[in-house]
Amino acid sequence: MAEPKAKLHLYGKSEPRRARKMGHFTVTGRTMRKTLELARKLKTALND
């Protein structure tokens, strides 16, 4: 999913483990509501 208002930051860790952060998204927007909508949309897409 290409989204110009979201940036994926990966930490370069080679192995996933339980409760280990492998990275995070930074999401920007004009309003808090729009930003949260986009963040939730990305979260849903990742869980599918």
Q: What is the pLDDT of residues 8-37, one digit of tens each?
A: 999 999 999 999 999 999 999 999 999 999
37 — alpha (psi -120 to 50), left (phi > 0) or beta? alpha
The ranges assigned to domains in the chain are 1-12+23-48
pTM, rounded to two decimals: 0.71
- Cα separation of 7 and 21, whole Å? 16
- Give Cβ neighbours of residue 35 (< 8 Å, ≥ 6 apart): 5, 27, 28, 29
Q: CA–CA distance from 18 to each of 1, 10, 15, 21, 33 (Å)?
A: 25, 17, 10, 9, 31
Determine the pLDDT at residue 1: 64
- Number of Cβ within a 10 Å radius of residue 37: 13
